[in-house]
A and B are shown apart, each in its own frame.
Chain A
Amino acid sequence: MSEYLIKNGHVFDPVQGIKGDKKDIAINDGKIVDKVSSGAKVIDAKDKTVMAGAVEIHAHIAGPKVNLGRIYRPEDKLFSCTPTKGIERMGGGASIPTTFKTGYEYAKMGYTTAMEAAMPPLFSRHVHEEIRDTPIIDEAAFPVFGNNWFVLEYLKNQEIENTAAYCAWLLRATKGYAIKVVNPGGTEAWGWGLNCLSVNDPVPYFDITPAEIIKGLIEANEYLGLPHSMHIHPNNLGNPGCYQTTLDTLKIAQGIKPKNKFGRDQVMHLTHTQFHSYGGTNWGDFESKAKEITDYVNKNKNITIDTGNVTLDETTTMTADGPFEHHLTGLNHLKWANVDVELETAAGVVPYIYSPNISVCAIQWAIGLEIALMMKDPMRCYITTDHPNAGPFTRYPRVIKWLMSAKAREAQINAFKHKDKVLSQSSIGTIDRELSLYELAQMTRAGPAKSLGLSAMCGGLKPGMDADVAVYNFNPDKPVANPEDIEKAFSRCAAVFKSGVQVVSNGDIVSNGQKRTLWVDVKVKENPQVMRDINEKFIKYYSMTQNNYEALGHHFVPNPYAIEVDATQ
């Protein structure tokens, strides 16, 4: 059965500029096509919303720190596990779902592609094992580069070509997708228990600043012409006043033009912007600087962002910003896990409860929504929760409800114990904008796909693109009686197709699909010096041999999809 016709739905497709017209979507052999034969299976989408499958640009869903979170939080699964059901394997984990549950929950909400936001290169096998065991959704992983000894040494000497050659080698060795940067320099400083809290703090011993690291990696990224841009989690995350560091970081992209064959227009993607938009000097005068950040991004079009919305849940924070997690456990005294990774990076994990009774949490909630509602170009602002840091990804329907309904936001504001503080320390009370379905499609499909350099493949319903389609029980012609209906409709799709195979029907999983692992295969000029440097560091400093590091056999990536890039000029 490879022909389908999704009939009579209200289609929202920013790739083709379709804003809710009743249109049929035809699927054949894994792709969207113009038309199908009369033998096609018909999916009735009357009075329903039809969009391309959603694209998750940043979540922590596969790898060592995710699994450390699972291992150390048995209470995250107490009384909430789901049983085996037909072809659906059992699942568990409220804030850190098991891999099977991850795939199923994304699919049920209409997501068909997801990016694992941070892969420590030494652990790439682990990341790929978990990706392989996550059903249905296509995935890719971002290796981290911002604290890597090779990168620090090459950029100290301003050797962009060598940096680029190393990045290309590492992307291939780890089957990675993009250049991810987390707390540049600061996580290497954390190897000594220190940190870099501004873009000008030099890294101990390596004597390079975060600003130099960021600039150098942007340049390396454009030198290579990668599908995605440098993707950054700036220094000083989560501290009152950190917005200034964020602006300093964003300014580094000024004047740099993107260079690639994938339709990407940005040179920097700023992730979980909510955590980087804080004003004030302490937790008492803590306030939102969402306006300052969005003003800058609105004016500077070579930047894309994702929101990092707080969902007001008990969740688990996990990030390669090791020193931040140590700081957090000092604040909330909850169990702290940390892993420093030789030559490369670190990671930390700490549970966190975003209580609506705590004013700081409520203001954080407001900031995430302000960012989405103050950004003028929905093609450059994407909805995330930095899962699980600001909340579980399973809360996306709730975030969508808040963004589409001012009434729902008002109800939440009224439910806050410190409502007055939320209103005084942010401007959420003054915003009455409500996202339209078209804007939602831009912020969850077309926009992230374009930023990732995947706009030819997914994020839209143009014939020739992959047949990733989501059908929601949401009638755009009916006024919304109750905002809870929005959350309900986006929680469970009527139907979802992944690469032309129906995977969800009436909210239930009907196929485990045939997920692919996307990765970027960059060809560069031969670079004997970099190869020698790699060789030397493995002999002297790594605890694994180079041959074993590079051995990423087929059983780890059984269904690879390589995106070829030729950077040999």
Chain B
Amino acid sequence: MTKTITDVICPFCGTLCDDLEVVVSDDGKHLLEVYNSCVIGTEKFLHSQAKDRITRPRLRQDDGSWKEISYDEAVEYSAQMLAKAKKPMMFGWSSTNCEAQSVGNEIAEISKACCDNTAATCHGTSLIAVQDIGLPSCTLGEIKNRADRIIFWGCNPAHAHPRHMSRYSIFPRGFFTGKGQMSRKLIVVDPRVTDTAKMADVHLQVEQGKDYELLDALRVAFKGEWLPDVVAGIPSEKIREAADLMKSGRFGIIFFGMGVTQSLGKNHNIDEAIAVTKDLNEYTKFSIMPMRGHYNVTGSGEVFAWQFGFPYSVDLTRGFARYNPGDTSTIDLLIRGELDAMFTIGSDPGAHFPISAVKPIANMPSVCVDPHLTPTSGVSKLHVPVAFNGVECGGNCYRMDNVPIDCRKVVEPPEGMLTDEQFLIKVRDRLKQLKGVA
């Protein structure tokens, strides 16, 4: 027969929905159905059941073919690689749990490596902005219960965080927002007419690359000062109207994504958006929140920070922690030829990095820990499949608003397959032997 597991947490995106229900076979070995999830989350659970999964590590041979090896041999390759390298990078961490991230940190400290997570290509720039100007923010339940002005700036939750609007930001009837969608006004800022923009009360079609100017104009409008006729493709009357709409709310929130974090200006765009939020707190209550992508990139940032002091792009090569994106960030290190080994886990830089950063990975000792076949596993020398975190093993994760939720195991992994944490513990213990460390 079957059993239904409730309160399941979806391990895909930063929305970290925790109301899923998963139906599994009685023996816990087969996952049958997923309820309440969006299409992306459902697929995350269901494709763990694919019959053609790689279940054992594979090592690239000299002739380019793959040879299946044991986990012990994979541990040996990884530990040797990290022990010998002068500047290895341990990258990714965003699709695994905090317990594994913590073991990874131990390994990075022992091997004096660099470590980094996917914020490097995503919201790392938001973190730089937070470091420069701060962050007035809140938890997602505050939006549900209080917010009446919602701004999506440079993000498209209809596609990227499908249940965000129904769980938190537009539709829910919260304590002070009993009329649900009717009690809220939505502003979307995006050069494109996206599915999210189609829902907006106001769509500001900002000229690409000019978000910083538009944000500055909003701040000027709050103060009632002079503005040129058009800023960033938007007429100044429209800017003043948007400013008034923001000021007239009683609780507003700006959600933002790659449209501003990775376009011209990057961290400065976020910096100015945070400044807008800070200014609005002189008139009403306003917060701002990044739409984090991977379901536990936030967690990786938290664990790096409490153990090493910095949220990403951490350099431990001198025996203590240092941080300066541009110097310590993975893409720069790869392109400039600074690294001599690459250990990737819980992410796919092969798909997301510029090709000039991916090519060096193919030319150095490299490990890719991932249940999937990816462009990263394609260019790495060793591919180590592991259990799907959040599906086949549990572990703590942090939502886009930094709220920690302990993911559940709902189904058994394939026979004999290790979890990230188990593999990393073996690598750590072998590395300690090689380095003569207690």
Contact = CB atoms under 8 A, between A and B. Distances in A.
Interface in B99-149: 99, 102, 109, 127, 130-142, 144-146
A74 B323 contact: yes
B102 to A, nearest CB: 7
Nearest to A69: B305
A349 B174 CA distance: 27
B305 A71 contact: yes
Given A126-B404, A193-B284, A77 B307 contact: no
Contact of A326 (B140, B144, B281, B301): B281
B7 interface: yes
A543 B396 contact: no
Contact of B138 (A68, A129, A339): A339
B406 interface: yes
Contacts of B18: 544-545, 548
Interface stretch (A340-348, A421-429, A468-476, A483-491): A340-348
A382 interface: no
Contacts of A545: 7, 18-19
B302 A543 contact: no
Given A70-B309, A336-B136, A543 B144 contact: yes
A123 B403 contact: yes
A84 B308 CA distance: 11
Contacts of A84: 109, 319-320
B438 A87 contact: yes
Interface stretch (B261-269, B310-318, B338-346): B310-318
B98 interface: yes
Contacts of A192: 146, 250-251, 285
A543 B141 contact: yes
Nearest to A79: B322
Contacts of B132: 335
A127 to B, nearest CB: 9
Contact of A83 (B131, B176, B319, B438): B319
A92 B134 contact: no
SS class of chain B's interface: helix, strand, loop or mixed?
Answer: mixed
B404 A129 contact: yes
A534 to B, nearest CB: 15
Contacts of A342: 138-142, 144-145
B402 interface: yes
Nearest to A83: B319
Given A93-B309, A336-B278, A339-B138, A77 B130 contact: no
Chain A interface size, as a band, is 35 or more
Interface stretch (A4-12, A501-509, A550-558, A559-567): A550-558
Nearest to A132: B102
A191 B285 contact: yes
A173 to B, nearest CB: 13
Nearest to B18: A548
A337 B406 contact: no
B83 to A, nearest CB: 15
Interface string A59-96: 00010101110111110110001111011011011000
Interface in A33-78: 62, 64, 66-68, 70-74, 76-77
A404 B19 CA distance: 58
A100 interface: yes
A555 B99 contact: yes
Contact of B306 (A70, A76, A90, A193): A70
A318 interface: no
B130 A122 contact: no
A525 interface: no
Given A89-B109, A191-B285, A99 B144 contact: no
A339 B135 CA distance: 8
Contacts of B307: 89, 98-100, 133
A338 interface: yes
A430 interface: no
A130 interface: yes
Contact of A126 (B102, B134, B141, B302): B302
B141 A129 contact: no
A98 B144 contact: no
B301 A71 contact: yes
A71 B281 contact: no
Nearest to B302: A67
A77 B130 CA distance: 16
Nearest to B303: A129
A542 interface: yes
Contacts of A126: 302, 398, 402, 404
A87 B168 CA distance: 45
Nearest to A340: B138
B365 to A, nearest CB: 23
A66 B102 CA distance: 18
A269 B310 CA distance: 35
A299 interface: no
Contact of A337 (B109, B130, B303): B130
Contact of B134 (A62, A335, A340, A551): A335
A329 interface: yes
B335 interface: no
A123 B404 contact: yes
Q: Which of B99, B132, B307 has the most CB of A within 10 A?
A: B307
A125 interface: yes
B377 interface: no
B397 to A, nearest CB: 10
A338 B277 CA distance: 11
Contacts of A336: 134, 136, 278
A343 B140 CA distance: 11
B417 interface: no
Interface string B76-87: 000000000000
B66 interface: no
A76 B102 CA distance: 22
A478 interface: no
Contacts of A193: 281, 284-285
A76 B319 CA distance: 18
Nearest to B285: A193
A343 B175 CA distance: 10
Contacts of A548: 7, 9, 18, 405-406
Contacts of B318: 83
Contacts of B109: 84, 89-90
B287 interface: yes
B134 to A, nearest CB: 4
B139 A122 contact: yes
Interface of B: 6-7, 9, 18-19, 98-99, 102, 109, 127, 130-142, 144-146, 167-168, 174-176, 250-251, 278, 281, 284-285, 287, 301-303, 305-311, 316, 318-323, 394, 396, 398, 402-406, 438
15 contacts: A68-B135, A70-B309, A71-B305, A71-B310, A129-B306, A130-B306, A191-B146, A337-B134, A339-B137, A341-B139, A343-B145, A346-B138, A541-B145, A543-B403, A553-B394
The 4 closest A-B pairs by CB, nearest first: A342-B141, A335-B134, A83-B319, A543-B141
Given A64-B402, A98-B305, 7 more contacts: A71-B301, A71-B310, A82-B320, A129-B303, A129-B396, A543-B140, A556-B406
